[in-house]
A and B are shown apart, each in its own frame.
Chain A
Amino acid sequence: MSHPSEIVSKRASYAPVFAALGDATRLSLIAKLAHGVPCSISTLTEETKLTRQAVTKHLRVLEQARLVRSRREGRESRFALNPEPLDAARRYLSLVSRQWDDALDRLRDFVER
């Protein structure tokens, strides 16, 4: 477990993660990659109504947020999920959430005494 201030000081890096996750298409791409098998753009485009270009664009957003990594294999790039930013972002939110719990407990003591 990281020290709270360490988690918080990295906050700036979470916004792109939350922003990248705030899109149904990107979430579905992550869901596909969550099976653990690196996929090509062609594979990821299959079973969607999206164009290859659209999928590529979404993958770049995920890549910028470090949620996916790509690796070149022969003529194609394969994309894999990187779960670390998801975990870090969730740890950050649960820290903020806990701090609110503590503050509201103190508020309760204060107004009910």
Chain B
Amino acid sequence: MDIIEKQIELKAAPGRVWRALTDHREFGEWFRVKMDQPFVEGQASRGRILYPGFEHLTFEVQVVRLQPEALFAFTWHPYAVDPKVDYSQETPTLVEFRLQKSATGTLLTVTESGFDKLPAHRRDTVLRMNISGWEEQLRNIERYVAS
């Protein structure tokens, strides 16, 4: 499976981390985006990117799951930074934040997956896939190519 996974140990209680992730104003603080409305499960949430150089861009996520202090999941078009590209034609990726209470605070795991999903209009051109650890496979290939 094509997936980006990050783990970070935070010295803050799960309740604090949950608020920073899912309160749209707090999320905006560290994610550098000004959200127009709260995150609601099953709904889209929009805002403006405040990241220097990208202020002209709209930020949009579709909230998939809000499971308090455990899981926050949304789909989006990752770093859709080119206004000339119509990202809505692409299949979005899935971002998941998982929280686990730890001895010193919270263990946060972030995954982003779905990079192999083709836009619907192109999907029929590719065979059904049997996805398995492509990143590991990519490293194998890299070794082959390098040797």
Q: Give the number of residues in A that approach B within 8 Å (Cβ atoms).
A: 45
Query: Is there a chain B Cβ closer than 8 Å to A111's Cβ?
Result: yes
Question: B residues touching A (Cβ–Cβ < 8 Å)?
Answer: 1-2, 4, 6, 8, 10-12, 16-17, 20-21, 26, 29-32, 78-82, 84-85, 89-91, 108, 110, 112, 115-119, 122, 125-127, 129-132, 134-135, 137-138, 140-142, 144-145
Nearest residue, chain A, Cβ from B2: A18
Contact A9 B125 (CB under 8 A): no
> Count the A-B residue pairs with Cβ separation under 8 angstroms: how many?
133
B20 touches A22 (CB 8 A): no
Binding site for B on A (CB under 8 A): 4-5, 8-9, 11-12, 14-16, 18-24, 27, 30-31, 34-35, 57-58, 61, 64, 81, 83, 86, 90, 93, 95-97, 99-101, 103-104, 106-112
* Contact assessment for A34 and B118 in the assembled complex, using a CB-CB cutoff below 8 Å: no
Q: Decide: B81 and A5 in contact? CB cutoff 8 A.
A: yes
Determine the residue in chain A with the shortest Cβ distance to B117. A15
> With A8-B79, A19-B129, A96-B78 in contact, do A107 and B141 touch (Cβ < 8 Å)?
no
Chain B residues, Cβ within 8 Å of A103: 30-31
A111 partner residues in chain B, CB cutoff 8 A: 10, 12, 16-17, 20
Asked if B4 contacts A19 (CB within 8 A), the reply is: no
**In the complex, what residues of A have CB within 8 A of residue B79's CB?**
4, 8, 95-96, 99
Q: Would you call B81 and A27 a contact (CB within 8 A)?
A: no
In whole Å, how far is B96's beta carbon from the nearest beta carbon of chain A? 12
Contact of B145 among A12, A20, A83, A109 (CB under 8 A): A83
Inter-subunit contact A11/B145 (CB<8 Å): no
- Given contacts A23-B127, A108-B8, whether A8 and B134 have CB atoms under 8 Å apart is no
